[in-house]
Amino acid sequence: MRDATGRLVSFDSRLWRTLFALVTKPGFLTREYLDGRRRRYLRPTRLYLVMSLLLFAVLRLEAPPIPFDETTITLDDAEKARVPGVAKPAQERGVAASAGKAPAPAASNQGGFNLTFDKEYNIVVEGPRYPFSDALRERLDRFNRLSRPEKGEQISAGMLRYGPYAMFVLLPAFAWLQQIAYLGRARRYPGRPRKYVEHLVYAAHIHTFLFLVAAVAIVIDSWVNIFLVPWVLYYVFRAKQVIYRGSKWGGLLRGFFVLVVYAILFCVATVTLFFAAILVR
C-alpha cells in the first residue's frame, strides 16, 4: 500500500508514463521490456501489483454484495430433513415412534457425497463420506444459520479477500497457456517470445490493462462502458499481433484455445473462491 500510494502521488514518477503507454499502445510495453529498454517504465510485476490493488479496492468500495432474495420461503418436509439444525415434523416423529421402528434412512450416495443448495441458500451435504473436518463443518453450520443478506455479505467479502490470491495463480497459468499455444517456428519468427518468463511479462501487461479497464468501468457505471468492449477486443488482438506476430487467423485460433482453457480455469477459481469465502473465512 505504501509503495503504490507513493507512486500514485508522485507526478514525476514512471507510473504515468507507463500507464499512458499501456493504454494507448497495445503490446508496446512488452516489446520494450523484451528488447531491453526497461528503465523508463515500471517493472511488469510492480505495475501488476499496483493495478490489482486498485481494482480490488474499487470492488470493495463500489461493488454491492451478492443480492440474495430476502423473501422467506417455507421449506417442505423433505428439505427440512436435509438442512442442518432443522428438526423433522412432530407428526413424522410420532408415526415412527408409534410403529416402534426408527425412521427409514434416506437413500444416499454410496460412492461419496452430494453438495447442494436448498431454497434458503443453505449448503446441504449428503452421503456417508463427509468431506469436511469438524472445524469446517462448524463453519458450514454457522453459515447456514445466517440470514440471506448476511450470507450475501459474507460471500462477497470472502471472494474479495481471496480474489488477489486467485489472480496470482491464474497469471502464471495464462502465461503457460501462451507458451503452449506458440510452440515451434522459432526460426520463422525470431522475435517471438520463447522463454516462459517472456510469456509471463506479456501476461502481466495484459492483465494489468484488463484490471485498469475493469476499475474504470466500475467507477463510471454508465452507457459509456459500451465503448470499452470493442476497445478491449481490439487491444488484446493488436497486442497479440505486436508481440507474437504471425498470421491473423493463426493468432485467432491460438487465442481461442487460450481463451477456452483460461475460461475453464477462471470458472474453477471462482467456484473455489465461493467455497473459500464460506468455509475458510
Measured between alpha carbons, how far is 176 from 132 in angstroms, rounded to an integer? Answer: 32
Mean pLDDT, range 268-272, rounded to an integer? 87
- CA within 13 Å, CB half, 90: 0
Q: Which of 87-101, 141-155, 167-181 has the highest mean pLDDT?
A: 167-181
Q: Three-state SS for 240? A: helix
Give yes or no for a contact between 133 and 148, defined as CB atoms under 8 angstroms apart: no
Where on the phi/psi map is residue 129: left (φ > 0), alpha (ψ -120 to 50), or beta? beta
Angle at alpha carbon of residue 156, lines to 73 and 221, rounded to 5°: 105
* pLDDT at site 250: 85
Give yes or no for a contact between 150 and 278, defined as CB atoms under 8 angstroms apart: no
pTM of the entire predicted model: 0.71
Per-residue burial over 21-30, b = 16 or more CB atoms within 10 Å of its CB, e = otherwise = bbeeebbbbb
- In this predicted model, what pLDDT tens digit does every residue of 230-265 receive, in sequence order? 999 999 999 999 999 888 888 889 999 999 999 999
**What is the band of 156 on the pLDDT scale with cuts at 50, 70, 90?**
confident
pLDDT above 70 for 54: yes
* pLDDT at site 31: 92
Give yes or no for a contact between 160 and 252, defined as CB atoms under 8 angstroms apart: no
DSSP H helical ranges for 25-87: 28-34, 44-62, 77-82
Q: Name the CA radius of gyration of the chain, rounded.
A: 25
Angle at alpha carbon of residue 115, lines to 111 and 117, rounded to 5°: 155
Give yes or no for a contact between 84 and 141, defined as CB atoms under 8 angstroms apart: yes
Mean pLDDT, range 106-121, rounded to an integer? 59
**What is the band of 209 on the pLDDT scale with cuts at 50, 70, 90?**
very high
User: Taking the mean position of all CA atoms in its chain, how far away is CA 79?
Assistant: 31
Which DSSP state fits 224?
G
Contacts of 193 (CB under 8 A, 6+ apart): 34, 178, 179, 182, 199, 201, 202, 243, 244
Average pLDDT, the chain: 76
Which DSSP state fits 67?
-
Query: For the chain, what's the residue count?
Result: 281
The per-type count for the chain, helices as H runs and strands as E runs, is 11, 2
